[in-house]
Structure 1
Amino acid sequence: MTTMTAAHLPLPSPAEAQEQLNADLRAVLSSDPTADSPILVGRPSILRRLAAGIAASIGPETDRIIARTGPDAQLATAVSVHTGVALAVISADGSVSGEIHPGERIVTVSLFAAEAEAHSLAAQIGERGAAVLGHLHAIDLPGDRAMPTSAVTAPGLLGETGEEAH
């Protein structure tokens, strides 16, 4: 009888895994990365790693994850599945798919860093009586460059008013 053994490759270090993800992102991003968002969320290997990175920043105090429609909602759905935290999606007209309850502690999620959008979303959540703990985005696009500097970043936490906490 022949015994089969499988060679196991060592897992990459966190820094190596981050660089591999950044390389994958650079490979699919064009000069207009926001136009590429359907490509990013349409690639399960990229979406899974982005979601896992964001999920690591979501604490047990979080009651709900909220995102806008489109690619942000697709990423937030993957984060919700990864964490088990409930999800709601707010459309551009302010309608909600899912639930937002007064007193809930919310983390908002987006694919790209967009401070104005994060503040707008925080204001809509605040109108419903929930508190925004923070905003997490998957891809930082510094200046005019189309390449991410970091696959997962967590800027300063937002207070209930949507203002950055200090």
Structure 2
Amino acid sequence: MESTKSRWLEKTCDKCGEPVFFMESWSTIPKFCTLCRLKKIENIPRLLRQCLQRKIQIKGNFKTSELQQFRAKRQEEHAIAKQALHLALHENSDLVEVCIANKDLRDLVFRLHKADLLEHKTTEKFEQPLPLHIGRFLQGGSPGLKKR
């Protein structure tokens, strides 16, 4: 009987050549290694400060246990962000290096960055790709052409 368990595969980072590991079942293969992805994020301190400033917002109907898990997760994120900012500001540590060493912080930074990108993407005004009034030529072809 064949195993349906996914395997880890390896490729090289497009930027630095370091190995990047991914599961063969993933639909999107990562292009960059963790270090290159973290270096690409320019505003890690701002993201962590926003994480500390946001309040727990509860929408929808939650069971008591789900609500407790949500609050515990948010408190954990606050503690991780607070610790990272302390290291960066008071001990002059490089946040990228701190993120590399701490998997929980790294995951939090990636999650916050993705949420930030999605927020900016949805708040941008979309330009209309075509003018409101499309000319007769585009709609029905040249007026000189007759139907056969």
TM-score by length of 1: 0.24
Instruction: Select the structure with the greater relative contact order (CA < 8 A; seq sep ≥ 6).
Output: 1
Q: Which has the higher strand share?
A: 1
TM-score by length of 2: 0.27
Q: Which has the higher helix share?
A: 2
